[in-house]
Structure 1
Amino acid sequence: MERENMRCVILVTSDIHGYIQSVDYRTREEIPSGLAKLATLIKEERTKCPNLLLIDNGDMLQGSPFAAFAAAHASGIHPCIEVMNNLQYDAAVPGNHEFNYGFETLKHAVETSRFPWLASNIIAKETGEPSLGKPYTVKRIEDKLNVVILGATTHYIPHWEKASHIDGLEFRNSLEAVKAWTAYIREHEQPDLLIVSYHGGFERDLANGQATERLTGENQAYAICAEVPGIDVLITGHQHRLIAEQLNGVLVVQTGSNGQALGQFTIEFEYSGDGWRVVSKTARLLQPAADTAADREVEVLTGDMERMTQEWLDQPIGTAEGDLSVDDPFECRKAPHPFVQFIHQVQLEATGAEISAAALLSEECRGFGSVITVRDVLSAFVYPNTLTVLRLTGEDIRLALEQSAAYFELDAAGKPGISEAYLQPKAQHYNYDMWAGIEYDIDLSFPVGKRITRLSRNGEELSVNAEYSVVMNSYRAGGGGNFDMFQGKPVLYEGAEDMADLAVGHIQSKGLLTASDDRNWQLMW
């Protein structure tokens, strides 16, 4: 029998975070990323290969000012879904940030999509069935190739998300769900190609298998490649890394964030009478060039919403006296800073807590100038976190400070730098907190875990067993960032408004902000 050959191309987006148009929302300058520019690449690839599948791996609906404005003001189909429908996606997987605006918002997005959403491990407690679409979808290529796409999402979502946003949902272990469904698919669907789209990342170094983070289950991609037979392609995300390689015979990609890159798998098949077999497979990343034009159709689809977003961002909401600017995020984390003090003031006034813990969440944050706009606030508060007040002991606070103090390490010159653990496999600057309402010293001459050499409140040593009300964002209160000492602590208050809205309201009520800081802590080495 004469041999037959076929090629299948899979294109992947992930962690777009509402960056559709190619614009820097801080400066309004054009940037070489965003789904509109990836759309140009997608359409180019479609002209080269008719057997093309397009998959989104999650975190599409949240993360940019455009996404925040659309969540509050869009009627009908969400503009991100309109774009995905236009680009003819074949499947999508929910990311953890898809739940940030509540389950009803996500459900509406699913219902208005002209493609299936896949979530094998997100289960409706009432029925015991997958709650968002189905576990997998089958695609027939030229009525010859049988391609199956299985979806899974990090099951760590309950550690971060507001309980009301995921009420009635069970997040089963991603690795175990992929194992079970892969075996089922192999038996019942006989796929020629099995793709797993997993909104999660790698917990181990791809080269040597060494753990790169605490093995909490948040990321399980390495284990999926090592422990689940029968997978040909694994799409990953969540960590915002740029990866295109092969691990244990499985092709893997991760496409960064905000439309940095398009993942591409190319699979060559041969038919020899006893079925199709893979003869070659490659993975690579396609990145927009400096002169890549944004797709005009996508720009038109989102143009009205983008224009309204820009008008909203430019609204002045207050003024500032003194220096509330952030010139260097690292320098801002090395000493008390007026902008961080502003964050503490918002948190303390909104909740009435005694003590505040806060992080500088974005490396792009530049603080405030003399005139403060919505754009300035949204650039600083990039996640829709709400506030939570926990009852903590003095010992809990000390342990949390030691966890944050691990952010620093001394460089070869004996000066403070950033610990490699906070830079690899992805940057985690947002997991370093600064505190108000207490006084403390971080001494880097001591080993990690023993760096807090002074800890007091109002000049008196903080008692180990005394209890205090402490406000922080909802992500941290759930233990996010390896703050295990917060898990299971009594909750005194849970807010409904996200931090950006609280900050805007605070500025509008004050009218004028005056730069100040308490000089309540210091970094020593």
Structure 2
Amino acid sequence: MLFSRPALTAAIAAALAGGLTACGDSDQPAAVLPESATAELAILETSDLHANLLSYDYFRLAEDKSIGFERTATLIKQARADFPNNLLIDNGDTIQGTALADYQALVKPVSCSQKLATYKAMDAIGFDAGTLGNHEFNYGLPYLAQVTGTKFNVDGMPAVASQPSCAGPAFPLVLANVSSKKDGAPLYKPYTLINKKVSAKDKDGKTIETTVKVAVIGFTPPAILQWDKRWLEGKVDVQGVVEAATKYVPMARAEGADIVIAASHGGWDTGAYSPSMENANYYLAKVPGIDGILMGHSHSEFPNAVCSTAACNAAGVDKVKGTFHGVPAVMPSFWGKAIGVINYQLVVRNGKWTIDSGKTAVSLRKALTDATAKTYVPVDPAIAAVVKTEHEAAIDYVKTPIGQSDFALSSYFADVGDVTAIQVVNAAQADYVAKYVAANLPQYKDLPVLSVSAPFKSGFGGGTDFTDVKQGPIAINNAADLYLYPNTVYAVKVTGAGIKTWLEKAAERFNQIDPSLTTAQPLISTFPGYNFDMFTSADLSYEIDVTQAKGSRIKKLTYKGAPINASAEFIIATNNYRATSGTQFGLTADNIIHASPDANRDVLIDYIKARKNLTLAADGSTRSWRFTKVATAGPVTFVSGSNKLSVAQTAGLGNISVVSNDDGSGKGQGVYAIDLSR
């Protein structure tokens, strides 16, 4: 539903006067609560499902028991049995992330009357509310409006009265910090009020039926304006998470909310706050009136007693109890691997429900039941039944053949030099941009065209979270494995100095190594693999010296055998995310010379179709970079998939050895060592 500013203002005024409910679902007067009555209320959370509805990997065309909403649904049913008074809330990044999602959005778009498969699955078990993550905006505003059953009053879309009423989820979506530039109104209701009927006990222990009014308010990362600039620029404004909460939480309280739950699609950053902060929940917890925070986006777990990061151990963070500044907070992993639970004990004081904060319990419930045996909770068969048609259609689509390869393309050892999964992506992007420049941008015809890409799947999710395309036939599912995201091709113009700045940022993928240490040192930092941009061009060469501090690691940077000219200009093929939000890589809007509407993945598919046969010599062995050689007193280690040493050897990485084929995590990971002196 779209709010107009006059309607919103009038509704707020009425609420503050004790009148009508602006954002809630009832204007019934509240019943008198018996003093000292008690109740239990559990808030259940899903987050970052990324359209992983079934325990199935569309890239490998195989079952993957570690993921899938069909197992999450079992966790939800178990929690509902344990906590009869409950609300189920989704925290976003819900409708994008699998080949099924892309099929419904891009290949055979769902019709207005057709409910999205993800929402069909969620409605099968029943949600009470949800918010939107950054990836909800990946397919553009018209698609988002359609599949969520919403009408947006934004530039570039028909007048609201002319927009059809389309099928959306059966639960309300809320979002407080994204508004239309056209009229200033929120795209979605900022919050919803749920009059939750609960079973309680009066002071004498007698069971009574009563109501708790819960407000759910939603937030998404402000950086969506950069990440999806092509869809959002000039159409929406984004407010800071704290600023939006400060505005709307008092309104929810004024409407009678007993509990306010923030569904905030972000993690927590303990650095200095700004309205553009991506992970603002540490500061959101300080906003008066918020009783709990449901988190996501970072694909992590909280509470987490063994977490050793600075953010987990910052002042005000209780990583064991799961609180920020005393406010309960939970983050339930990703892809359906867990649910979050905040269990409140409530008591009536002075005629109002209050939280007995000393008894609040925050926890995670995981689909993985035994890490050693690798056993998981059973699936809920109802989920597969409601998405059977869409699931089968997506499988048929991704099986479409596009070419052949005489080598395997994988990212198991991309962090240490294997380019088999990177080079063909770079070649496709460079070919596309070079042809476009030649046909449409004659002023740049003499500039060299290079390309960067990154190992999008680099083990974050465990030993199977790597690109792994086998030698032989290549199909669309393999192209999706090589290029994970629905990005579009962008071309940027940079100088030689700009290339060095770009590479210095990418080199933050590595920890600084002390050659004198005799103890093992981990090579890989927390810097995401999807930001480890690399060139794979015979014309460009550079070294990464991991013994040096950040910003001083790129050595011997040459172009065509000579030191690169700092002022020389180059065209770099990349993607919309990097081009529009790559300030840390030295990029601004002024660098962009072409913003293509064509998806990187489609460009890759077309390139492979044209090439027909990929060969290792031509398409998988051109390394632009190497580590600067250095002898270390102790081992330098990294984690990858178990039992994959032969992959490194085939890629010519003779300086890799196995430390252990099982790192003890239960995630199918092994520990490897790299000899940096070779």
Fold shared, TM-score > 0.5 on shorter chain: yes
CA 434–4 in structure 1, closer or farther in 2 if over 3 Å, else same? same
1:116 corresponds to: 172
Match of 1:504 among 586, 595, 605: 605
> C-alpha separation between the residues in 1 aligned to 2:541 and 2:41?
61
Distance in 2, matches of 1:272 and 1:169, equals 43
The reply on whether 1:319 has 2:404 as its aligned counterpart is yes
User: Displacement, 1:274?
Assistant: 3.3
* Alignment deviations for residues 244-290 of structure 1 (CA, whole Å, 9 cap, x no partner): 31221111011111001011111111124432221221111111233
Shift of 1:171: 1.1
2:292 to 233, 253, 265: 233
Does 2:275 correspond to 1:170? Answer: no
Change (3 A) 1:46 1:129: same
SS of residue in 2 equivalent to 1:130: coil
Greater length-normalized contact order (CA 8 Å, ≥ 6 residues apart):
1
Question: Structure 1 residues 39 and 174 mapped into 2: Cα distance closer, same or farther (>3 Å)?
Answer: same
Amino acid at match of 2:288: P
> How far is the alpha carbon of 1:408 from its aligned partner?
1.9
**CA separation in 2, counterparts of 1:272 and 1:347?**
64
How far did 1:125 drift? 0.8
Q: CA deviation at 1:316?
A: 2.3
Deviation, 1:291, is 4.5
1:190 alignment partner in structure 2: 256
Give the match's secondary structure for 1:350: helix
Task: Provide the C-alpha distance between the structure 1 equivalents of 2:213 and 2:193, rounded to a whole number of angstroms.
Answer: 7
- Which of 557, 560, 570 aligns to 1:468? It is 570
Whether the aligned pair in 2 keeps the contact of 1:200 and 1:218 (CA below 8 Å) is yes
Q: Which has the higher mean CA deviation after the structures are superposed, 411-420 or 232-241?
A: 411-420
The answer to whether the 8 Å contact 2:500/2:554 transfers is yes
CA distance in 1, matches of 2:454, 2:603: 16
In the TM superposition, residue 144 of structure 1 has moved relative to its aligned partner by 2.6
My pick for the range that moved more, 433-442 or 468-477, is 433-442
The question of whether the paired residues in 2 share the 8 Å contact of 1:203 and 1:215 is answered with: no
Q: 2:181 aligns with which of 102, 113, 125?
A: 125
| 8 Å Cα contact 1:121/1:173 also seen in 2 | yes
Instruction: Give the Cα separation in 2 of the matches to 1:368 and 1:499.
Output: 21
Q: Determine the C-alpha separation between the residues in 1 that align with 2:235 and 2:189.
A: 17
Give the letter for the 2:290 counterpart. I
Query: 2:429 matched to 1:347?
Result: yes
Match of 1:429 among 513, 529, 538: 529
Q: Aligned AA for 1:141?
A: K
Structure 1 unmatched runs, 5+: 205-210, 423-427
Taking only aligned residues, the RMSD between alpha carbons, in angstroms, comes to 2.3
Contact 1:361 1:429 in 2 (8 A): yes
Matched, 1:283 2:359: no
Query: How far did 1:172 drift?
Result: 1.2
- Residue range with higher mean Cα deviation, 171-180 or 118-127: 171-180
Normalized against structure 1, the TM-score is what?
0.91
| Cα drift, residue 165 of structure 1 | 4.8
How far off its partner does 1:27 sit? 4.7
Equivalent residue for 1:221, pick from 281, 290, 294: 281
Contact map agreement 1:37 1:295 (CA 8 A) in 2: yes
Helix, strand or coil for the counterpart of 1:358? coil
Residue 62 of structure 2 corresponds to residue 22 of structure 1: no
Alignment counterpart, residue 223 of structure 2, candidates 156, 161, 176: 156
Q: Which of 80, 101, 107 is matched with 2:145 structurally? A: 107
What's the counterpart of residue 407 of structure 1?
509
Which residue of structure 2 aligns with residue 521 of structure 1? 625
Q: Distance in 2 between matches of 1:413 and 1:29?
A: 42
Q: What residue number does 1:57 align with? A: 91
Q: Does the alignment pair 1:358 with 2:440?
A: no
> Greater CA deviation, 355-364 or 67-76?
67-76
Provide the C-alpha distance between the structure 2 equivalents of 1:272 and 1:175, rounded to a whole number of angstroms.
29
Point out the more displaced range, 413-422 or 46-55.
413-422
Alpha-carbon contact 2:240-2:274 (below 8 Å) kept: no
Q: Kindly provide the CA deviation profile for residues 482-513 of structure 1, in whole angstroms up to 9, marking residues without a partner as x.
A: 63411233311112122222211111122111
Answer with 1 or 2: which has the greater Rg. Answer: 2
Which residue identity lines up with residue 325 of structure 1 in the other structure?
L
Name the CA shift for 1:434/1:484 in 2 (closer, same or farther; >3 Å): closer
In 2, the alpha carbon distance for the partners of 1:418 and 1:303 equals 43
> When the two structures are aligned, how many residues end up with a matched partner?
507
SS at match of 1:448: coil
Deviations along 1:465-493, one digit per CA (max 9) or x if unpaired, are: 2221111121111234x634112333111
Deviation of 1:57 after TM superposition, in Å, equals 0.5
Following the alignment from structure 2 to structure 1, what is the Cα–Cα distance between the partners of residues 562 and 227? 34
- TM-score, with normalisation over the residues of structure 2? 0.71
Cα distance, 1:31 vs. partner? 1.0
CA distance in 2 between counterparts of 1:69 and 1:172 reads 32
- Give the CA deviation at 1:214: 11
1:201-280 matched pairs, under 5 angstroms: 201-204=267-270, 211=271, 217-225=277-285, 227-244=286-303, 245-279=322-356, 280=359
Question: SS state of the match for residue 178, structure 1?
Answer: helix
Question: For the Cα contact (< 8 Å) 1:99–1:166, is it kept in 2?
Answer: no
- Asked if 1:3 corresponds to 2:25, the answer is no
Partner of 1:208: none
Matched, 1:308 2:408: no
| Distance (Å, rounded) in 2 between the aligned partners of 1:316 and 1:416 | 43
Spell out, residue by residue over 1:391-412, the C-alpha distance to the aligned partner (whole angstroms, 9 max, x if none).
1111111111111122223274
Decide whether aligned partners of structure 1 residues 3 and 415 sit closer, same or farther in structure 2, where only a CA change above 3 A counts.
closer
- How far apart are the structure 2 equivalents of 1:252 and 1:135? 20
Distance in 2 between residues matched to 1:125 and 1:368, nearest whole Å = 48
Q: Which amino acid aligns with 1:159?
A: Q
Instruction: Give the secondary structure class of the aligned counterpart of 1:478.
Output: helix
- Residue 465 to residue 30, structure 1, CA distance change in 2 (3 Å): closer
Q: CA separation of 1:15/1:447 partners in 2, compared to 1, >3 Å: closer, same or farther?
A: same
Give the AA of the match of 2:174. Answer: L
Q: Tell me the secondary structure at the aligned position of residue 154 of structure 1.
A: coil
Native 8 Å contact 1:151 1:197 kept in 2: yes
The farther-off stretch of 39-48 and 393-402 is: 39-48
